[in-house]
């Protein structure tokens, strides 16, 4: 299509891996095909997107399991994010707080306590390998 309209073809293409289910390729004969619409109905759109982004490494195949989705939903969304928002806003409401406010001193404390967790969350894959390394290795840049 690109050639037919005289567009330059890409020099490099980033191609993601396949989704496997409990370590097996999805197939109709095995009857292990995942219905994403059903997953979104059962859990939440946020949970499905988060699971795929969190667990599937770039370039390699990524495994999907309903059990893992349920665990991530419970631990990261309900227990992590949901819990934080609920606790903070409930206490603020209870104590009559009517504004949020930045505080430089508190930011330093927050950074000190959470930096390692944030670095792990954003820069390391499930197997501990660096996400940037996976990218660069696949693109033969590194």
Partner 1 sequence: MTITEPRSKYKNEETKSEALADLQFLLYIVKNIALFSAPILVNGFKKIQAIFGNEEFSTIDTTVNNANNTFKEVFDLEEFPVNLNPQIMYKKKEI
Please give the backbone phi and psi of residue 43, each rounded to the nearest 5 degrees, phi first: -110, -100
Q: Does 124 bind partner 1 (CB under 8 A)?
A: no
Burial grade of 115 (CB within 10 A; 0-12, 13-18, 19 or more): exposed
Which member of 14, 89, 123, 133 binds partner 1 (CB under 8 A)?
89
Q: Is position 90 an interface residue for partner 1 (rule: CB under 8 A)?
A: yes
For tokens 């693109």, the residue is 139
Output the CA–CA distances (angstroms, integers) from residue 83 to 66, 76, 86, 90, 142, in the order listed.
22, 9, 5, 10, 40
Instruction: State in angstroms the smallest separation of the CB of 74 from partner 1.
Output: 8
Strand partners, 20: 25, 63
Mark 8-47 with x for binding to partner 1 (rule: CB under 8 A) and - for no binding.
----------------------------------xxxxxx
Give min distance, CB of 139 to partner 1, in A. Answer: 23
Q: Taking CB under 8 A as the rule, does residue 64 contact partner 1?
A: no
* Cα(114)–Cα(109) distance, integer angstroms: 9
- The CB-of-27 to partner 1 minimum distance in angstroms stands at 24
Which residues are near partner 1 by CB under 8 A? 42-47, 49-50, 53, 70, 73-74, 77-78, 81-82, 84-86, 88-93, 95, 97-103, 106-107, 110
């Amino acid at each position: 299509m690109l050639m037919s309209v005289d567009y330059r073809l890409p020099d490099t293409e980033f191609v993601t891996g396949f989704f496997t289910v409990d370590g097996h390729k999805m197939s109709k004969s095995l009857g292990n095909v995942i219905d994403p619409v059903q997953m979104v109905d059962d859990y939440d759109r946020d949970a499905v997107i988060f699971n795929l982004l969190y667990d599937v490494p770039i370039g390699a195949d990524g495994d999907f399991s309903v059990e893992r989705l349920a665990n991530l939903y419970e631990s990261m969304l309900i227990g992590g994010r949901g819990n934080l928002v609920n606790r903070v806003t409930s206490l603020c409401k209870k104590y009559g707080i009517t504004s949020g406010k930045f505080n430089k001193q508190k930011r330093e404390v927050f950074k000190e306590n959470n930096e390692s967790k944030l670095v792990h969350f954003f820069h390391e894959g499930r197997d501990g390998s660096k996400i940037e390394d996976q990218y660069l290795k696949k693109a033969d840049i590194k």
